[in-house]
Chains A and B, each alone.
Chain A
Amino acid sequence: MHTPVSRKLVNESYLVFASMQEQKAMQEDKTINRAQLLKFSRNYRSIIRSCLLELQNTSEGIDADVAIHNESQMQLYSIMDLVWSLCEIIFIENLPGGVILLRMVEWCKWNFPLVDDLVRSCMSSRDNLPYQHPEYWNAVTALVLQGRLAEARDLLKLHPEFQVQVYDSYSCMDELLRKMPVFSYHQGQSISEFEIKWQHWQAECVKRLKDGDFDTKPELKTICRILTGDNEVLTEVSHLCGNWYQMLVTYLLYNNPTTKVYDLYYHSQVCIQMCNSHSEWGALDNILLAVCAFDIDRVIRECCEHLSNWWLPAHLSDLLNASGLVPADAEKNQVEIELQEILIVRFAESLMSLESYWNVVAGYLANCGPLSQQYLALFVQRITLTSEKKASKVLRLCEKHNLNDEAQSICRQLCRQALREKRHGDALSWCIKLKDSSLAMYIADEMLSVYAKTGVFPNIDLIDYLGSSVLVSERLTFLGKYRDFHKLHANKEYKEAGYLLLNLLISKIAPLEFWPSLIMDCLLLLSKEDLIYGVEETTNLLSCLNTLDQKKKVLEKFSETEKNNHLKRMQHLRVALTNNLAKAIVS
């Protein structure tokens, strides 16, 4: 499934699959009407056909391995095309009796070009005139076997012994071929009317055969025997009959042209008996027999067993299930749904080995059946996140399908990775998305410790623009506000800065380890000329100072010199605050 051509198959068919799911979602009973279904079926078939064409066109100029692989791919695609086209005729088109045969004649014509090859070799040979070509009679007979009587007549006319005026075996045959009735459903002919005409015609053929009209020319006699529905003659011309399914068309044409879909199985058994000698029974035969038997389960099962990939069973079963052909019996329905789910999951699994397919795999898993969310969740955990863009796409996928736990775990994973690589800004943006306050607190602490060591805030360009996201964690809010304080101070807006600082201390969102720094900032402000703090504020600050004195924990982390410095500063601050209080009271 990884070659360029199969990638086209997978991607194009995924788009058809996705639009089918959309259609289904619009209907309540999850079925699609016949016309639409036929359109989707034709879409799929045209995709298979175009891939087949492309494989055929690229057959030159490639090395041996690729050529072998291409061959097997072409075989696979032709089988898929054959099976799908027959399924379309039998299951989807829902044709009335009599019309089935017409479609099957067409199907035969398009899929088995042996006859066309014969005709072409007759017509295009340079040395002989057509009738002298050794394959001439084979070509005519084969055309009759496939029911293409107009073409047979044209070819017959090329024989010199055919003279219009003289009534002899040739013109007799021509008349019979011309007069064969064809069921014209669209002109409103009824089945019984057609049957009468046809039986009349066949009786005429029998009569002329008995009368010995064709005794002079054995080839014409053979053809007439075919027209009379003589089955023994088919063994004589078996080399032209092809497989049992081609013979089925012949058999039906000249024995039972008004056959209904349900009788196909019986007739195909007869043909298989007749054909038994030649070819071996293969996978394709099994599948086609199941189609004729109108047994959808068996078709899917045979496809799974015998084809090398899951594409056909997964998509075909999806299409057929949407048609409403599956019985309404609840229990059987459940089995069908589960089977379909497994088929799609197996198909999606086969795609997983190519990383590029992950969007398509996710699309399939999201629509496989009742357990789609679980499958999707498992898959999402396996996607490797190579870049931020891919991570965003995966998160968008999770969001769409309500996989909140997976989304959270992805964000957490990315956040931790960023932290390990010391990219604090990136980590912060992920944990804000996550709304995880403990991680945010950890990151804010890291940033504050950087500030404490260097005196410079890291990632200012992020902190300044966090907006309402600072509320994710208290520590983060503190960081933001502390940075604001520094900005105000730098802008010489001392009064606002002072009030902010006070708020930070009073509201207790500042971590205890930072109080000493905050106290220092206080000192700076107090040493300014203008009075910044009034009576109330100064009293508050004094009480904060007292609280700090009582918390011995802060001093534990300090070394001896630091402890001494700290106590000295506290002393200075007490003095400064008292002075300030005095000033405030007086003014």
Chain B
Amino acid sequence: MSESLIFVSQKMSRVRWKPTSTSLQKSNVFAAGSYEDTKNSVSLWEITQTNKLKNNPEMEDIDNGQPRKFSSYTVKGDVTGLDYADSNLIVAGTSCGDILLFNSSESLVLQHEWKRLHGRGGCTDVATSLPGIVSVGEDGNINLMRIESKRPLRVIEHGDSCPITSVRYLTSSEIITTNTVGQLRMWDTRSPSDSPTRIMVSSDQLVALRSVDHHATQGHVLATGGADGCVTLFDIRKECAPVNKLQVHDEDVWEVRFHKTSPSHLFTCSQDGSARRLDSTFDLKVMARDGGGTAPEVSEVVSKCGLSINSLDVSGSSLVCCNDAEAIYVIEDAV
């Protein structure tokens, strides 16, 4: 693994790789959103390649492989949610409750803004599944929008009594959310009722769940990251959904990401300053049967760097993550 680290003078809350058209292509552009700065922004970064620097041979050794910012857009409030809808569209959510849609083909151009969709505390996460966009917030509201719509198509008000911490699309009409009292909920966007189709809890104690992701190929396998450092695997086909609970970190697991093309890898990052990778087939039948026997292998991708790692994303064999020391790490050959 080769690691390159740059200090960017802003604390980043989210980083996302730009999706590539084929899985063989390596992504070298990522988007990042900052928070807790006097002026926050969404920015686009490019990993500079060797051939681009032929005209500046002195800087070649220093700059090779280093990310470089090439576009940025100032937003009001903190950037709390960020997602690529496709390779040219970015959706960002802010702590003021605004959801912004950017066109990011060359540089960031604001295409549309949905203002004040969330009240107090603002938006906490956004997810996209073209043409749908969903945003969740601390007020417990869920907003469903489409790319072309000027107003949200549907607002599930007070869908949750507690702040919702993250959201993902499971299929184009189903979403999953997590909240601060440890509940994992499934919602059907086509159903007229404002209640979730299912509520699952990871433990008897009210431990907040911070993030959720679903397996790329086995759609019934979900992983959540909790405030106690545990990653819980859920099998939604089962009545009693939580299947396996693994103590991966010492403190809150801020983000869990399944690898899109090699789904036997699950990446996690945590408040304790480390980012880890779990390798397993995630065949839940086997895991439930054997108990501790087929525990996933945990390997460290970024070792404790002193301050919390807030977000990570993985594409191909590259991993990008950002931490509270205003630094961005890009790791090659993380898989």
Interface residues of A (CB under 8 A from B): 4-5, 7-8, 11-12, 14-15, 18-19, 354-356, 358-360, 363, 386-390, 392-393, 396, 421, 423-426, 428-429, 432-433, 458-459, 461-462, 464-469
Contacts and interface: CB of A to CB of B under 8 A. Distances in A.
Contacts of B120: 421
Given A356-B11, A356-B37, A15 B325 contact: yes
Most buried by B among A15, A392, A426, A429: A426
Contacts of B199: 461, 464-465
A388 B123 CA distance: 11
Given A426-B163, A429-B181, A468-B205, A392 B11 contact: no
B3 interface: no
Main secondary structure of the interface of A (DSSP, over half): helix
Given A7-B326, A388-B138, A424 B205 contact: no
Most buried by B among A4, A356, A465: A356
A432 B306 contact: no
B36 A465 contact: no
11 contacts: A359-B307, A386-B78, A387-B122, A388-B124, A392-B227, A423-B139, A423-B140, A429-B181, A459-B161, A461-B161, A466-B206
A488 to B, nearest CB: 19
B208 A426 contact: no
Contacts of B305: 15
B216 interface: no
B325 A432 contact: no
A469 B271 CA distance: 25
Interface of B: 7, 9-11, 36-38, 78, 80, 95, 120-122, 124, 138-140, 160-163, 165, 180-183, 195-196, 199, 201, 204-206, 208, 227, 251-252, 271, 305-308, 324-327
B306 A387 contact: no
A461 to B, nearest CB: 6
Contacts of B7: 7-8, 11-12
A392 B139 CA distance: 16
B183 A389 contact: no
A465 B181 contact: yes
A426 B122 CA distance: 15
A469 B10 CA distance: 39
Contacts of B180: 388, 426, 429
A429 B327 CA distance: 33
Most buried by B among A428, A432, A458, A462: A462
A469 B181 CA distance: 11
Contacts, number: 119
Given A392-B208, A396-B252, A426 B162 contact: yes
Most buried by B among A388, A432, A458: A388
A378 B182 CA distance: 31
B121 A387 contact: yes
In the A-B complex, list the 9 residue pairs whose CB atoms are closest, starting with the nearest. Answer: A425-B161, A4-B9, A459-B161, A7-B9, A467-B204, A8-B7, A18-B306, A462-B161, A356-B36
A428 to B, nearest CB: 8
A166 B138 CA distance: 90
A462 to B, nearest CB: 4
A458 B140 CA distance: 14
A468 B201 CA distance: 13
A468 B204 contact: yes
Contacts of A387: 78, 80, 95, 121-122, 124, 138
A469 B180 CA distance: 14
Contacts of B306: 14-15, 18-19, 363
Contacts of A359: 307-308, 324-325
A461 B183 contact: yes
Given A8-B9, A388-B138, A429-B206, A355 B161 contact: no
A364 to B, nearest CB: 12
Nearest to A17: B306
B121 A388 contact: yes
Nearest to B6: A8
B326 A11 contact: yes
A393 B121 CA distance: 15
Contact of B271 (A15, A396, A465): A396
B195 to A, nearest CB: 8
Contacts of A465: 181-183, 199, 201
B221 to A, nearest CB: 22
Nearest to A5: B9
Contacts of B165: 388-389
Nearest to B208: A392
A107 B182 CA distance: 59
Given A7-B9, A387-B122, A388-B121, A396 B251 contact: yes
A388 B36 contact: no
Most buried by B among A14, A393, A428, A464: A393
A432 B78 CA distance: 28
Contacts of A433: 206
A355 B11 CA distance: 11
A12 B208 CA distance: 31
B96 to A, nearest CB: 11
Contacts of B201: 465, 467
Nearest to B36: A356
Given A15-B306, A388-B138, A423-B161, 5 more contacts: A356-B36, A386-B95, A387-B78, A464-B199, A467-B206
A384 to B, nearest CB: 10
B183 A363 contact: no
A432 B327 CA distance: 35
B20 to A, nearest CB: 30
A425 B252 contact: no
B325 A11 contact: yes
Contacts of B252: 392-393, 396
A4 B7 CA distance: 9
A532 B43 CA distance: 67
A388 B271 contact: no
Contacts of B181: 429, 462, 465
